[in-house]
Amino acid sequence: MTHAAKPAARPLSPHLQVYRLPLAALTSIFHRITGIGLTLGIPLLVWWVASAAYGSEAYAAATGFINSPIGYLLLFGFSVALFFHLCNGIRHLFWDAGMNFEVAETKRTNVMVIVATIALTVVSWFLALV
């Protein structure tokens, strides 16, 4: 029945507010955030498609909003979210297949996802606007 006077020094679990999230954790939470964001974007897509069924005036109203500064800002945000969610989602599918679990591979695919997201966003907007 003899106990040590003080409990052994155990490592403290990192607290979210003082713990700098590693890149893998940031891409993980960003996957959720972009997923929620893209879900919120689907009504805009449905509005655009459905407006065509109502005729040219409704279509002009929908594209008028999309072509406004707010529309372009939303569209840019959705494009970044879509490309990130697509690239990181492919990474998740590889993980689900039991591949690329090593820390070095995770660090490598972190960078691949971010670089691919930026590249796809830049190339898409270049092709669309030029």
Partner 1 sequence: MFASSNLRSALGRARGLGSAKEGLHHWWAQRLTALALIPLTVWFVASLIGLAGAGYDEFILWLENPVNATAMILFLAVALHHAQLGIQVVLEDYVSGHALRTTGVVVVKFVCVGLAAFGIVSTLIVAVGV
**Which residues of this chain interact with partner 1, rule CB under 8 A?**
32, 35-36, 38-39, 42-43, 45-46, 49-50, 52-53, 56, 59-60, 79, 82, 86, 89-90, 92-93, 96, 120, 124, 127-129
Please, which residue, 79 or 106, has the CB nearer to partner 1?
Answer: 79
- The residue type of 55 is G
Please, which residue, 11 or 98, has the CB nearer to partner 1?
Answer: 98
- The residue type of 99 is M
First to last CA, the chain: 79
Please, which residue, 22 or 89, has the CB nearer to partner 1?
Answer: 89
User: In this structure, are residues 38 and 82 in contact, taking their beta carbons and an 8 Å threshold?
Assistant: yes
Tell the smallest beta-carbon distance from residue 72 to partner 1 (Å).
Answer: 11
> Where does residue 117 rank: exposed (0-12), middle (13-18), buried (19+ CB within 10 A)?
buried
Please, which residue, 59 or 65, has the CB nearer to partner 1?
Answer: 59
The helix (H) or strand (E) run that includes residue 87 is: helix 69-96
Here the tokens at position 111 are 């960078």
Tell the smallest beta-carbon distance from residue 54 to partner 1 (Å).
Answer: 8
Tell the smallest beta-carbon distance from residue 25 to partner 1 (Å).
Answer: 15
User: In this structure, are residues 57 and 63 in contact, taking their beta carbons and an 8 Å threshold?
Assistant: no
Tell the smallest beta-carbon distance from residue 80 to partner 1 (Å).
Answer: 12
